[in-house]
Amino acid sequence: MQVANNMAVSIHYTLTNDAGEELDSSIGQETLDYLHGTGNIIAGLENAITGKSVGDKFTIRIAPEDAYGEIHEDRVQIISRDMFEGIDDIQVGMQFHADVSHGPGVVTVIDINDDDITIDGNHPLAGVTLNFDVEVVDIRPATAEEVSHGHIHGAGCDH
């Protein structure tokens, strides 16, 4: 069986940047399980997994445009501390859910200068080339319910 659209796929992966720093990994943890063909993972990785079989292992280098996109300077803004009503201790690195120029998203505080707070609405991995070591662990046809919901149902799923 090969990975194709509407298949439930389980992979193990290790993600590094071009400097070789490990950014994330599923090794020693549960697999990453997703519904293939629905955009539940970044496009470059999903495309690379298409056609693979259980047991296949491969390495893929994914450019920003096929991952989390390029950095958009217009998503970096300086806003007033007043915008953080009810939050007394704002720190660099804090993240908040917000309505941003491109829709709902997460912003990260990247600088604090008195009452001016600089936030960044780019994904933390925007502009980064990603390197994945991947092993395909399991493939099965998704159920009709999983396909209609747009994600696979595993242990603890509340559907």
Residue 13 within a domain: yes
Provide the terminal-to-terminal Cα distance of the chain, rounded to the nearest Å: 27
Question: So what's the pLDDT on residue 154?
Answer: 67
> What is the CATH number for 92?
2.40.10.330
Under DSSP, is residue 77 helix (H, G, I), strand (E, B) or coil? Answer: strand
CB atoms within 10 A of CB 133: 15
* pLDDT class of 73 with cuts at 50, 70, 90: very high
Is the same domain home to 93 and 136? no
How far is residue 30 CA from its own chain's centroid?
A: 16
Note the pLDDT of residue 38: 93
Q: The pTM is what?
A: 0.81
Same domain? 63 vs 141: yes
Same domain, 114 and 131: no
Provide the pLDDT for residue 85: 85
DSSP characters over 97-119: EEEETTEEEEEEEEEEETTEEEE
In a domain, 159, yes or no: no
Give the angle 40-70-47 at the CA atoms, nearest 5°: 35
Domain presence at residue 31: yes
The yes-or-no verdict on residue 102 having pLDDT over 80 is no
Range(s) of the domain holding residue 61: 7-68+126-149
Q: Tell whether 91 and 48 lie within a shared domain.
A: no
Q: pLDDT over 70 for what percent of the chain?
A: 94
Residues 11 and 63 in one domain: yes
The pLDDT assigned to 105 comes to 82
Report pLDDT for 157. Answer: 54
Answer yes or no: are the C-beta atoms of 107 and 95 closer than 8 Å.
yes
Give the pLDDT confidence of 4-29 residue by residue, as tens digits.
999 999 999 999 999 999 999 999 99
